[in-house]
Amino acid sequence: MATTDLGHQNGNMPTTNDLEIAINDALDGIKSRGVFSCFGRPHHLVDPYICIGSDVTPILLPLQADGAARIVRASHQGSLHTSAEKIPGVFDRLTVCLPCKHEGGDLVLSYHGVTNEVSTSTTNPMFIAQYLDTTQEMREVRSGYRLALTYNLTLPGLCLEPSASPDYINPPLDQSVKQWLRSVPEDSGATTELIYKVEHKYTDAMGTWALKTNDLSRTNALIALTKIYPIVVYFAIMEYEVYGSVEDYCQKYKRHQAITEICSESLSLNDLPIERDRVLNVGTLDGDREPDWDEVEEHGRGRVDAIYRYCDVVGSLYAILSD
């Protein structure tokens, strides 16, 4: 891959802003070959049956009306565990559609503008694996019964399965970080920080081993550079809070109503305030996205003010100059 020395463009030395843009572009350009969802038919299948709680009478598959009634009755009685525990290391969701004859009930999986539609009626039984932050919609079951088991998949804390070699040096990123370091003031003990927001949503209980696709590939590229340059890479939770007015407010759509006029905003990293220009891909903070916390206040006559707070995982790149 060809690289460009920013220091020789138009015969001028690059500005700090030029170098930061170059680092952001280099990180954006690192892509993974991974996908957000996959599905298929199991190669080996043992005819399953279902037992509920202490009821030893099995429910045979394909599911019939009497078996479906027993499952519904048990769920109404609270004997089925329906809430998933928040387990550290959860990275994926696995759904197994059991042998059940039905029409409809297809799944529509969406992620970052890409959509996969999965027909559970034509391929049955089948498995579906997807990221936790994938948007999922299930079509109406027009006839028959659709029965599925859902599992949270986890990785142990010491497990690392990188999608790209952690020793691979990405040429554009290497070039831009090298020149950025040259621009850092040489004051004794000076520290400069750059922040890059990752694509996926993660829980607080995460490590680099839990990163997905592009996030993992970009992290590996940064970590590889820590072995060459005086930089440190770590992950943290960045809070972005914005306050402003909401137009065309409707009580039905109270949550996730876009703020049309921003009055104030603030950014903090590990509870310490930071400047907006420290975030390389600052454009990803804006736009119409679901807040992690909100507070809406109605003033009458259609005037509504809102506070939205977003919690994002970010990678922080420190350049450290010692004595």
Q: Is the pTM of this model over 0.75?
A: no
Show the tokens assigned to 168.
């691979």
For residue 150, how far is the Cα from the chain centroid? Answer: 19
Question: Sign of dihedral through CA atoms 284, 290, 296, 299?
Answer: positive
According to the model, what pLDDT value does residue 134 have? 81
Q: Which residue has the tokens 């820590």?
A: 226
Show the tokens assigned to 264.
């104030």
According to the model, what pLDDT value does residue 13 have? 63
User: pLDDT at residue 204 above 80?
Assistant: no
Query: Which of the pair, 200 or 225, is modelled with greater confidence?
Result: 225
User: pLDDT at residue 76 above 50?
Assistant: yes
According to the model, what pLDDT value does residue 12 have? 62
User: pLDDT at residue 173 above 80?
Assistant: yes
> pLDDT band for position 286 (50/70/90)?
confident
User: pLDDT at residue 163 above 50?
Assistant: no
Question: Sign of dihedral through CA atoms 288, 293, 299, 301?
Answer: positive
pLDDT, averaged across the chain:
76
According to the model, what pLDDT value does residue 9 have? 47
User: pLDDT at residue 86 above 80?
Assistant: no
Q: Which helix or strand (DSSP H or E) is residue 179 part of?
A: helix 171-183
The amino acid that residue 22 corresponds to is A
Most confident of 112-116, 133-137, 272-276: 272-276
> pLDDT band for position 266 (50/70/90)?
very high
According to the model, what pLDDT value does residue 187 have? 63
The amino acid that residue 239 corresponds to is E
Inter-residue contact 19 to 183 (CB < 8 Å): yes
**What is the Cα–Cα distance from 318 to 167, expressed in whole angstroms?**
19
- Which is nearest to 285 in space by CA: 265, 299, 303, 300? 265
Query: Which of the pair, 47 or 38, is modelled with greater confidence?
Result: 38
DSSP string, 18-42: HHHHHHHHHHHT------SEEEE--
According to the model, what pLDDT value does residue 304 have? 80
Q: Which residue has the tokens 């603030």?
A: 266
According to the model, what pLDDT value does residue 255 have? 52
Query: Please, which residues have CB within 8 angstroms of residue 272's CB and are 6 or more apart in sequence?
Result: none
Query: Which of the pair, 291 or 10, is modelled with greater confidence?
Result: 291
Q: Average pLDDT, stretch 108-137?
A: 82
Inter-residue contact 137 to 107 (CB < 8 Å): yes
Q: Average pLDDT, stretch 135-160?
A: 78
According to the model, what pLDDT value does residue 16 have? 75
**What is the Cα–Cα distance from 17 to 283, expressed in whole angstroms?**
15
Count CA atoms closer than 13 A to 51's CA, side-chain side.
6
According to the model, what pLDDT value does residue 251 have? 54
- Which is nearest to 280 in space by CA: 19, 9, 70, 103? 19
